[in-house]
A = this chain, B = another copy of it.
């Protein structure tokens, strides 16, 4: 349904995505903002921000939901598709700006593809 009013909760949540550009799990946001926003509200605002093309979401390999900023999406739809990377060592998740081409599959019409890559991130790799 999208955001209609510019409330405190919306402002606070958007602020969390201002600084760093990596993804944040819904659970982490709920924990971080527990003193300011109720968890139901966190889920609802995230949902609306996704509808508005401000954030996009995806599930990690344990089925929990992550959110990150969109690049060129709008209320009309999410066009900014990309793989996500989760570090098996530190757990950090971020958006990859690489292009992965899915070859056409006979008799099947591809709509979307979700790619989750797991490995070791820059910081964890040097050690």
Give me the interface of A with B, judged by CB distance under 8 Å.
Answer: 59, 61, 63-64, 83, 85, 88, 96, 98-103, 105, 107-122, 125
- Of all chain B residues, the one with the shortest Cβ separation from A107 is B122
Task: Across the interface, name the chain B residue whose C-beta is closest to A58.
Answer: B61
Contacting pair A116 B114 (CB below 8 A): yes
Query: Closest CB-CB distance, A99 to chain B, in whole Å?
Result: 8
Q: Which residues of B contact A118 (CB under 8 A)?
A: 110-114
**Cross-chain contact A114 with B59 (CB below 8 angstroms):** no
Given known pairs A103-B100, A105-B96, the reply for A115 and B115 (CB within 8 Å) is yes
Residues of B within 8 A of A110 (CB): 117-119
B100 touches A102 (CB 8 A): yes
Interface centre among A102, A109, A116 (most CB of B within 10 A): A109
Q: How far is the CA of A107 from the CA of B115 in the complex (A)?
A: 19
